[in-house]
Amino acid sequence: MDKKFYTFLIFPGAHGQLHKIRLPFYIVHLVLAFSVVGIMTIAALANSYARMLLKVSNYNNLRTEREALKTQNRTLENAVTTTNAKLDSLQSLASEVALTYGFGEARRPGFPEAALALAAQTNSTVDASYQASLYAFNLIRSSSPLKPSANPASLGMVTSIDLGPDTVPSIWPVRGQISAGFGQRLDPFSGEGAFHSGLDIRAPYGTRVDSTADGIILKAGFDSGYGNAITIDHGFGIATKYGHLSKIFVVVGEEVKRGQVIGAVGMTGMTTGPHLHYEVLVNDTPVNPMKYLHE
């Protein structure tokens, strides 16, 4: 069987020697096939590279938009934080004004609801029932008429309520320097404006903390950012809160007296150093403690 060949003539020049190359038929077809495959591969690589460049460009655009949105979001968060702080300050001021002029509600809360709240906060059913019963018992026992104060209106209370001198939180819970006052301030952790609902009183670690008035322990234990904290119900809607304690010497439902040691200064919770966070609340609204404290 005769094989088919392709003959290629090469002329190097007018005076050069003629070269003749004979290639089998199948080799020429293989060369052409590899050439076609190579061209298709190069085209596919070029297409893939172009698509990659397009994706990179889209990614860069999305990243730029994301950074712009993050910046806008931070700006909005700062504006919302500032607005909330101003609203909290205005709400507290409005509550104080309402209480001063007799528009606020000043009363001692009913003990069944308080007892149920205490039971819900305790894991042990027996302890919950005991603490709720103790709180209710002390609340009933302490609900007898109190001695009238000399000038309730000067304390920011409703004039129609007679408050005993030992019921108003008018003594210092601890002696020390005030490191942060009531109202608007810069948050020491975020550096942004925030509403501070009490006083921060700097004192050495372990300094005794006194109850500022007669009352009944409503809460005693860990309380999120306050750390170890105590809340005392003084009746007629008045309560005080003591935060960042290193030790707690009272239990829920216990009746305490004005000046009684209830805990020790610490730095539990969100704090930058040992101090006492002290709040006065009227109908669950923080008010400025300074107007109650004697010099």
pLDDT digits (tens, 9 = 90+) for 5-61: 777 777 776 676 777 777 777 777 788 888 889 999 999 999 989 999 999 888 988
What pLDDT is attached to residue 105?
A: 46
Q: Supply the pTM of this predicted model.
A: 0.49
If you average pLDDT over every residue of the chain, what do you get? 76
Six token digits for residue 182: 């009531």
pLDDT tens digits along 127-176:
555 555 555 555 555 544 443 333 333 344 333 344 567 788 889 999 88
Domain parsing of the chain, residue ranges: 101-291
What pLDDT is attached to residue 79?
A: 80
Enclosing H/E stretch for 209: strand 208-210
279 pLDDT higher than 60: yes
Which are the contacts of 160, defined by CB distance < 8 A and separation ≥ 6?
Answer: 102
Share of the chain above pLDDT 90, in %: 26
Which are the contacts of 180, defined by CB distance < 8 A and separation ≥ 6?
Answer: 196, 199, 200
How many whole angstroms separate alpha carbon 145 and alpha carbon 16?
133
The strand pair at 255-256 and 261-265 is best described as unpaired
Q: Would you say 176 and 149 are in contact if contact means Cβ atoms under 8 Å apart?
A: no
What pLDDT is attached to residue 229?
A: 94
Which are the contacts of 277, defined by CB distance < 8 A and separation ≥ 6?
Answer: 198, 199, 200, 226, 241, 242, 243, 244, 271
Give, in order, the Cα–Cα distances in Å from 29 to each of 5, 19, 33. Answer: 11, 22, 6
Q: Would you say 21 and 10 are in contact if contact means Cβ atoms under 8 Å apart?
A: yes
Neighbouring-strand partners of residue 256: 215
Lowest mean pLDDT among 104-118, 174-188, 263-277: 104-118
Could you give the residue ranges of the DSSP H alpha helices within the chain?
25-100, 111-120, 125-141
Q: What is the CATH number of domain 101-291?
A: 2.70.70.10
Residue among 66, 76, 258 nearest 170 (CA): 258
Residue with the two structure tokens 């950012």 = 225
